[in-house]
Homo-oligomer: A and B are copies of this chain.
Amino acid sequence: MARQTPARALSYVFTFSKIVTMHPIRTQIHRFLPITDEAWLLMEPHIEERSLVKNSLLVQEGKLVRELGLVLEGNFRQYYTRDGEEKTTYFFFENHFIGGYISCISGQPSLLNIEALTDARVAMFPYAVLQSLYNQNHEWERFGRMLAEYLGLGLEERMVDLLLLTAEERYIKLLHSTKVKILERIPQHYIANYLGITPVSLSRIRAQMAKKS
């Protein structure tokens, strides 16, 4: 019995060390469901880290997207081009899954661009690999379902907010949300796009709110 104590301690250290050094992608996957080492090892060899300089594109309009991944460092914005103008519709931060998910699952060329707002690092894997994991492994398929469901929940809430709330209400909600990180260091006109209004209009809303308080 006495010999078990050190063994347990060692095991604990080992486990702990595994947790703190766990690959960031696996950490995020575990937010949905814990996957086994075996399942993880099917994915790990295909992950490739990449650095992007500020203003470069991770996903480009018109091109079929072939990979997904995770933001390791930096901020990104997603935008559509319309009437020659860029309209920002989403932001990605550290530990967000990123990539042209829609292009991947629809198999159609991307309608949107994803641009690095800062110098950034990402960890990407081919979507074909994920698809193959879906096919060969129930556990991965489950992750795929949960990821899609999670993204759907976010989209539904966003859509309802656009339908039901005023621009000011959406801005206030953003200020109180965990996404308040969006506000840090990100140009305000991108946030205005995200809220569905013009930068001038957002400026007015802010001025009004300042007057009230």
Could you list 30 examples of A-B contacts with CB < 8 Å? A80-B160, A87-B163, A87-B164, A89-B159, A89-B160, A89-B164, A102-B153, A102-B156, A105-B149, A105-B152, A105-B153, A134-B142, A134-B145, A138-B138, A141-B142, A141-B145, A144-B145, A145-B148, A148-B149, A148-B152, A152-B152, A152-B155, A155-B156, A155-B159, A158-B159, A159-B159, A162-B163, A163-B193, A163-B194, A163-B196
Q: Interface residue count for A (Cβ, 8 Å)?
A: 29
* A interface, CB within 8 angstroms of B: 80, 82, 87, 89, 102, 105-106, 134, 138, 141-142, 144-145, 148-149, 151-153, 155-156, 158-160, 162-164, 193-194, 196
